[in-house]
Amino acid sequence: MASSAAVPFWRAAGMTYITYSNICANLVRKCLKEPFKAESMNREKVHFSLSKWADGKPEKPGFFFTLLPV
């Protein structure tokens, strides 16, 4: 039996809920006034490093990245 429930608009647009919620969060951050805007944009940064693995052990981290919001 097929469901006749309404499909959420983000699903109908071909997005996942995570994509939709990230778009909404970015819009809210951009609408904030200073100093709240700067604080929220700083929380959006993501820092990580990549390491090569050899013989089941990580080598020294070679790449450091900071991802900034778009």
Distance CA 51, CA 37 (A): 33
CA-to-CA dists, residue 62 to 6, 46, 54, angstroms? 49, 17, 14
pLDDT confidence bin for 1, thresholds 50/70/90: very low
Task: Tell me, yes or no, if the pTM score tops 0.85.
Answer: no
Does residue 3 register a pLDDT over 60?
A: no
Average pLDDT score over residue span 31-44: 85
Question: Which helix or strand (DSSP H or E) is residue 24 part of?
Answer: helix 17-31
H or E element: which one contains 65?
Answer: strand 63-67
Q: How much of the chain, in percent, has pLDDT values that exceed 70?
A: 73
**Does the structure show a pLDDT above 60 at 2?**
no
Q: Check: CB of residue 6 under 8 Å from CB of residue 12.
A: no
